Structure 1
């Protein structure tokens, strides 16, 4: 019987585990958490940050969706209109 890797990690990940999954530095993962870009909670007396696996998956999916939208925009006919360029819209 093989175990599901997700079962080994548990429901909540430390920031270091989150950084490992995202393949970023721990400080970059803390930055995502502190800014609120990646949802996390503080637990225990020491108030350590924990990221729920489902929140991490949602964050990753949102980044993919953002990349898809940007790629579609760059391929659209409107991308050549100076007033509608991405930097002007956001």
Structure 2
């Protein structure tokens, strides 16, 4: 099964957030990513992005008392 990895720019665009917000999510461990290459560029696997989105939906449901 092939994995798809996204750059931080791509994930930030998909979530409609700024790069500083994206970096904060990584730093706080709210979304998992890996650093690759000699320059340590971040990549986020599609499955991790989907997990993050689903977790945010679940938190929203709990906050509204619907879980």
TM over 0.5: yes
TM-score (norm 2): 0.89
Larger Rg: 1
- Equivalenced residues, count: 64
Structure 1 residues without counterparts, runs of 5 or longer: 1-9, 74-90
Considering Cα pairs closer than 8 Å and 6+ residues apart, tell me whether 1 or 2 has the greater RCO.
Answer: 2
1:26 equivalent in alignment to 2:29: no
Runs of 4+ with >6 A deviation: none
TM-score (norm 1): 0.67
Backbone CA RMSD of aligned residues: 1.3
Distance in 2 (alpha carbons) for counterparts of 1:44 and 1:14: 13
Structure 2 residues without counterparts, runs of 5 or longer: none
